[in-house]
Amino acid sequence: MDALTHELRARGLKILYEDRHPYAGGPDHYAVFFEDPMRMKVEVVASD
């Protein structure tokens, strides 16, 4: 997730909920929320 977040930032995509990243979905929900080039909200979740 950290590598993906780094790549998204490098490509200039907006990371959503920066103040709670990577636990914006809750303490047991490791994910990145971002806005794609068409301004669609995307969530990628890490599994155990």
Q: Provide the number of structural domains found in the chain.
A: 1
CA dihedral 8, 46, 42, 34 (to 10 degrees): -40
* pLDDT of 36: 93
- Provide the pLDDT confidence category of residue 47 given band limits of 50, 70 and 90: confident
Structural domain of 22: 2-45
* pLDDT of 48: 75
What would the pLDDT profile of 8-39 be if each residue is shown by its tens digit? 999 999 999 999 999 999 999 999 999 999 99
Please tell me the pTM assigned to this model.
0.86
- Using alpha carbons only, give the angle 13, 14, 15 rounded to the nearest 5 degrees: 115
Sign of CA dihedral 20, 23, 25, 26: negative
